[in-house]
């Protein structure tokens, strides 16, 4: 299921009902929306650059770098939303016949692991950003400082970590396609 799990239902997910969940879900949605806007911006830039190369032989300078950066940020921004929707992929073949309680417990542990890993990555990305700022590391073509690119991944992973904690606390429900509710 690492591919697109298509939305089979036409209903918009109302999301969690409690205040914390509601807050996190709203932020995750906003974050994913921001990611999508960035992706469209990357598309527009790329098209503009291709058109420039074709029509006048002058592509946008550093278009590849800008698309790379936009996509990296967009991807990180989408991560928490997928966690709130329980969309991150698991293998449930071996535990399919285990009692529901066992599955729920395992899912909570999995969410905690995700929360911990995301927190570590957010922290290390931050450290990496500070170091890049100190060393003046910059992108190859545009010469933009890279520290802020590293930094932009932080919020996505931080929010991912929080959503992981939330799903570990509330218990996550993996709604596999084909699994009866």
Partner 1 sequence: MSSVTIGFLVGGLTLVLLALRIHIGMAMLVGGSIGYIAVSGWDPLMSYFKHLAYGRFSVYDLSVVPLFLLMGNIASHGGLSRRLFEATNAFLGHYRGGVAMSAIGACAGFGAICGSSLATAATMGKVALPELRRNRYSPALATGALAAGGTLGILIPPSVVLVIYAILAEQNVAAMFMAALIPGLIAMFGYMVVVAIYARVVPDAGPASVRMNWPQRMVAVGRVWPIVTVFVVVIGGIYGGIFTPTEAAAVGTIATTALAVISRELDFKGFTHAVFGAAESTAMIFLILLGADVLNAFLALSQMPQALAQWVLGSGMSPAAVLIGIILVYLLLGCVMDSLSMILLTIPIFLPIVMGLDYWGLNPTDKAIWFGILALMVVEIGLITPPVGMNVFIINSLAKDIPMRETFRGVLPFLASDLVRIALLALFPALSLWLVHVLGG
User: Is there binding between residue 159 and partner 1 (CB under 8 A)?
Assistant: no
Among 30, 124, 133, 169, binds partner 1 (CB under 8 A): 124
In the complex, least distance from residue 175 CB atom to partner 1, rounded to whole angstroms:
11
d(CA 132, CA 130): 5
In the complex, least distance from residue 145 CB atom to partner 1, rounded to whole angstroms:
13
| Torsions phi, psi for 34 (to 5 deg) | -60, -40
User: Is there binding between residue 47 and partner 1 (CB under 8 A)?
Assistant: yes
In the complex, least distance from residue 126 CB atom to partner 1, rounded to whole angstroms:
9
In the complex, least distance from residue 63 CB atom to partner 1, rounded to whole angstroms:
9
Per DSSP, what are the bridge partners of residue 145?
138
- Which H or E run contains 57? none
The burial class, CB within 10 Å (0-12 / 13-18 / 19+), for 69 is buried
Among 24, 25, 149, 165, binds partner 1 (CB under 8 A): 149
User: Is there binding between residue 61 and partner 1 (CB under 8 A)?
Assistant: no
Judged by CB under 8 A, the number of residues near partner 1 is: 74
Alpha helices in the chain (DSSP H): 19-55, 63-84, 100-135, 147-170
In the complex, least distance from residue 115 CB atom to partner 1, rounded to whole angstroms:
10
User: Is there binding between residue 4 and partner 1 (CB under 8 A)?
Assistant: yes
Here the tokens at position 29 are: 């949605």
**What is the x/- site pattern for partner 1, positions 91-120, by CB under 8 A?**
xxxxxx------x--xx-xx--xx--x--x
d(CA 121, CA 111): 15
Which is closer to partner 1, CB of 21 or CB of 116?
Answer: 116
Handedness of CA 8, 24, 171, 156 (dihedral sign): positive
User: Is there binding between residue 76 and partner 1 (CB under 8 A)?
Assistant: yes
User: Is there binding between residue 138 and partner 1 (CB under 8 A)?
Assistant: no
d(CA 46, CA 52): 10
- Name the DSSP letter for residue 60: P
Scan residues 18-37 and list those touching partner 1 (CB under 8 A): 29, 32-33, 35-36
């Amino acid at each position: 299921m690492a591919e697109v799990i298509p939305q089979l239902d036409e209903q918009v997910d109302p999301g969690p009902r409690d205040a914390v969940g509601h807050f996190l879900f709203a932020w995750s949605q906003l974050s994913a929306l921001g990611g999508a806007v960035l992706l469209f911006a990357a598309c527009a830039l790329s098209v503009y650059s291709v058109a420039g190369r074709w029509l006048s032989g002058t592509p946008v300078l550093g278009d590849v770098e800008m698309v790379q950066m936009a996509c990296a940020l967009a991807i990180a921004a989408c991560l928490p939303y997928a966690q709130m929707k329980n969309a991150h992929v698991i293998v449930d073949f071996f535990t399919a016949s285990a009692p529901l309680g066992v599955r729920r417990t395992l899912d909570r542990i999995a969410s905690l692991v995700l929360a911990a890993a995301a927190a570590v990555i957010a922290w290390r990305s931050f450290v990496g950003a500070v170091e890049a700022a100190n060393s003046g590391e910059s992108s190859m073509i545009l010469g933009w400082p890279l520290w802020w690119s590293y930094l932009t991944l932080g919020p996505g992973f931080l929010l991912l970590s929080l959503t992981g904690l939330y799903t570990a606390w509330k218990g996550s429900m993996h709604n596999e396609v084909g699994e009866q509710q």
